[in-house]
Amino acid sequence: MTKQNISSRIVLPGRNDPCWCGSGRKYKVCHAQIDERVEQMRALGHEVPRRDMLKTPEQIEKIKKSCAVNMAVLDEVTAHIREGMTTAEIDRIVRETTKRLGGIPAPLGYEGYPYSVCTSVNDQVCHGFPSEKVVLESGDIVNVDCSTIVDGYFSDSSRMFCIGEVSAEKKKLVEVTRECVQRGLEQVRPWGFMGDMGQAVNDHARANGYSVVREIGGHGVGLEFHEDPWVSYVTKRGTEMLLVPGMIFTIEPMVNMGAPDVCYLEDNDWEVYTEDGSPSAQWEIMVLVTQNGHEVLCW
């Protein structure tokens, strides 16, 4: 998502009020310690999350239900995607499976997006429109990006698929991009920084001769489709937002085989391509910052 699309919510408890996490305990004996540590870090000049970016245990449970549907939808795509299929067919699978499992495809109608899923092929970076005209051919690499609403809670993840006989070069791009997500994930821990994750992603991409898209990144997610913080993968260790238990965000770098520059298709202002026509890959997961590390919620 681009930075300006992010929205926000605010909740402010008092010290003797029940904790905002829903534990039933007084705030001062529950999350107050975490909040105090956050305030200390703010005083040191660090960017810190607002309290409403920390999900409560109840919210996390609901978000996990949404994630379960999102992953089941991607599993259905995984089972059926094949050479000769159109990307419109993937859209149908996603729409019908999501509905059957009690969810709503989050992309459909989101800021005017006209489909249930994004299908981005080869040099398409993201937000590819499913189409009856796009037939998957041997040698293609395609990202299928699914997002689901269940009971008002949002989930978001994407996977890459190699169709038929894919060149070793493109296969490597797909594999290294998956490794980038893994390297980033390993950096996610409370009281670390978003930039620890960002730099790990970027370092691994660059070590393999690739570049990471700068303009489009990840986001907080759960209560809405796209929440703060905006998540970049071209940042430095020790910088960007402090990671605090209860934060949920996506790791979804777009990695280009060539230059990092991208352009929007003029026809619809949605579909993004690499400017130099080089292939691009992306995997997306949702991660929760826990008390002692992280938990992957959706992949």
Q: Which residue reads 């920084």 in tokens?
A: 193
Half-sphere exposure of 38 toward its Cβ, with a 13 Å CA cutoff?
A: 21
Q: Is 180 helix (H, G, I), strand (E, B) or coil?
A: helix
CB of 44 to ligand MF3, least distance (A): 31
Residue 270, H or E segment: none
13 or 217: whose CB is closer to ligand MF3?
A: 217
Rule CB under 6 A: which of 272-291 touch ligand MF3?
284
Task: Give the separation between CA 268 and CA 51, rounded to whole angstroms.
Answer: 36
76 or 156: whose CB is closer to Co ion?
A: 156
Task: Give the separation between CA 43 and CA 181, rounded to whole angstroms.
Answer: 31
204 or 219: whose CB is closer to Co ion?
A: 219
With contacts defined by CB under 6 A, how many residues of the chain interact with ligand MF3?
Answer: 11
Q: How many CB atoms lie within 10 A of CB 137?
A: 12
Among ligand MF3, Co ion, none, what does residue 118 contact (CB within 5–8 Å per kind)? ligand MF3
Task: Give the separation between CA 83 and CA 64, rounded to whole angstroms.
Answer: 32
CB of 113 to ligand MF3, least distance (A): 3
147 is a site residue for ligand MF3 (CB under 6 A) = yes
Rule CB under 6 A: which of 96-125 touch ligand MF3?
107, 110, 113, 118
Which of 91, 123, 140, 156 binds ligand MF3 (CB under 6 A)? It is 156
Q: Print the binding letters for residues 245-264 with ligand MF3: x by CB under 6 A, - otherwise.
A: -------x------------
145 is a site residue for ligand MF3 (CB under 6 A) = yes
227 is a site residue for ligand MF3 (CB under 6 A) = no
156 is a site residue for Co ion (CB under 5 A) = yes
228 is a site residue for Co ion (CB under 5 A) = no
Task: Give the separation between CA 106 and CA 246, rounded to whole angstroms.
Answer: 22
CB of 80 to Co ion, least distance (A): 23
**Residue 137: partners with Cβ closer than 8 Å, 6 or more residues away:** 83, 84, 163, 164
91 is a site residue for ligand MF3 (CB under 6 A) = no
Contact (CB, 8 A) for 168 and 185: no
180 is a site residue for ligand MF3 (CB under 6 A) = no
CB of 20 to Co ion, least distance (A): 25
Task: Give 68-109 as a DSSP string.
Answer: HHHHHHHHHHHHH--TT-BHHHHHHHHHHHHHHTT-EESSTT
Among ligand MF3, Co ion, none, what does residue 113 contact (CB within 5–8 Å per kind)? ligand MF3
48 or 205: whose CB is closer to ligand MF3?
A: 205
Nearest to 271 by CA among 121, 103, 68, 81: 121
250 is a site residue for Co ion (CB under 5 A) = yes
Task: Give the separation between CA 28 and CA 16, rounded to whole angstroms.
Answer: 6
Which residue ranges make up the site for ligand MF3 (CB under 6 A)?
Answer: 1, 107, 110, 113, 118, 127, 145, 147, 156, 252, 284
Residues that bind Co ion (CB under 5 A): 156, 250
